[in-house]
Structure formats: C-alpha cells, structure tokens
Structure 1
Amino acid sequence: MEQERKLVHTTRIPVRWGDMDYYGHVNNTVYFRFCEQARVEWIEALGFAVDPNRGEGPVVINASCTFLLPVNYPATVIVKVYAGMPGRSSVMTWYEIFVEGDERLYAEGASKVVWTDVATNKSVPIPDGLRGML
C-alpha cells in the first residue's frame, strides 16, 4: 500500500457459519465479499446508489487479497476502506480486515474501481460530486 491513501469507510460484518471451508476457516472467496460489501456501503453512503438501473456506476476491474491470518467462526470482521487520488474515471481502493477485539491484521487487499456507463460498458468520468468527496 505504497500510494497515498485516506481512510474513507469502516464497517463491521458478522462471519456466518457457512463462510467457513473444509479447513474450518473463512474461505478465501469470502474475503472478497467482505471488501465488496464495505466498498458498496462506502459509495452508497456518499449518495451514489450501486444499481445497474442508474445508467452508470462503479465496476471493479481488478482485485487482490493477501491472507495473513485465518478468520474463524464465530467472529465479526472489521473492514477498513481506503481510497487514493481519483483519476479521470478510476480510483484505487485498499482494504484492511481485522477481527473485532484483535488488533492483528488478518488480510489486506486492493481493487481498482472504474466508473462505467452500464449501456456501453465503457468508462466515463467519475461524477464531480464523488470526485469532490475523494
């Protein structure tokens, strides 16, 4: 996480029993869902509905996650979302995942989010209102 970034949103997500895999810890795919949920909450809290019927909105074009410690049920994860400086149509986001009551970092991730026209599937400029908040 070398680029300049700022904390923009924090959320709590309960771990469900079904989130675990054969090894008894949260499956790797679920970490991406944790990040997705936090990202959607952040964008919607800024007043921009994540809805395919709106004509344009955020699309993730790449995502990564480094799994540092296993998360086990029962737990509540704390997901911190960070954002970088926006480009014309995209913004880098980063995520830190903790378990409530534990200061250790369990996972960290990143994704590039591109504002996209739903009809054309092409990038469009980030709305000025959103850009101002970033």
Structure 2
Amino acid sequence: MEHHRKLVYSNRMPIRWGDQDAMGHVNNTVYFRYMEQARIEWLESFGFGTSWTQTEGPVIVNASCTFLIPFTYPGIIDCRMFCGAPGRSSVPTWYEMRLVGDDRLFAEGAAKLVWINPSTGKSIPLPEAMRVSCL
C-alpha cells in the first residue's frame, strides 16, 4: 500500500568541517541535526518558535536514518522534508538528503512528531495550518 507523502519543506545547509569524524565523512549523528534543522525551519514557518515557554509544541517520539552514501566536506546538503497523513496529534515525517549538484540519494530518514502541551506532557490536536499543509 502506497503511503501518503507530501513535500512540505526543503532547505540547503553547508557541510561544516567539524561535521566529519575520524573516518573522514560526516558523522552519523550529524544527519539527525540536518533533519532537525529542516523540521525546525518548517515549524517556524507556522509561527511556532523553539521556546518551551509556549503552551504547545512538538516532540519527536522516534527517529531513524538510513545512510546510503557518505557526505564529506566540502559540500551543500539539500534536505527535503515530507509529511504523511496527520493523525489527531501526530504526523509522520520523512527526509531525503542529497548533495547539491548530485541527484543521488545520500541518506533518508524519518521522525514521528507529536504535538503536546509542555506543562502537562499530554498530546493535543495538531494545529490546523500544519494539518492542512500535510494533506
């Protein structure tokens, strides 16, 4: 069964020299930072900041990444974010990471985002604008 997947955001980020590890390629943990940056910029496009003084916001309940081709310095990463069919309080997201100028898929990832009230820790309905953008 084909899952609903809609491109909702794309950004470009430089690979920093310090993103590499002793093996000479971008460390696996940094790929999660690349996905996080795309996700944060997408959330900011709805007017949601990153401060926990807000009355609502996202948490990630799981995240994964499949490393296909190693990134190395220098380069610019094109990270594309997709979302799936939203639930009441959650939405699945997927990420594709390529090197600008290279059509090959270097890495792909996923994260499930849950909308919560930080003071209670309980899930609450997704904001309507976010829900609509994912449909």
Match of 1:83 in 2: 83
Unaligned segments of structure 1, at least 5 residues: none
For 1:106, the equivalent position in structure 2 comes to 106
Check whether the contact 2:12–2:78 (CA below 8 A) recurs between aligned residues.
yes
- The residue type paired with residue 35 of structure 1 is M
User: Quick one: distance in 1 between partners of 2:132 and 2:104?
Assistant: 33
The runs of 4+ residues in structure 1 deviating greater than 2 Å are 46-51
> d(CA) in 2 for partners of 1:130 and 1:7?
13
User: Deviation per CA, 1:47-105, whole angstroms, max 9, x where unpaired?
Assistant: 22232111210110000000000000001100000001110000000000001111100
Structure 2 unaligned spans of 5+: none
**Structure 2 residue aligned with 1:126:** 126
Q: How many residues align?
A: 133
Partner of 1:41 in structure 2?
A: 41
SS of corresponding position for 2:131: helix
* 8 A Cα contact 2:55 2:119, kept in partner: yes
**1:69 aligned onto 2:69:** yes
**Structure 2 contact 61–114 (Cα < 8 Å) conserved:** yes
RMSD of the TM alignment (CA)?
Answer: 1.0
Structure 1 residue 128, shift from structure 2 partner:
2.1
Question: 1:121 Cα shift?
Answer: 1.2
Percent of matched pairs sharing the same residue: 55
TM-fit CA distance, 1:43:
1.2
Give 1:131 shift.
Answer: 1.8
**Is the 2:12–2:77 Cα contact (8 Å) retained in structure 1?**
yes
Contact 1:50–1:58 under 8 Å retained in 2: no
Q: In structure 1, how many angstroms separate the alpha carbons of the residues matched to 2:108 and 2:133?
A: 24
The one-letter code matched in structure 2 to 1:95 is: Y
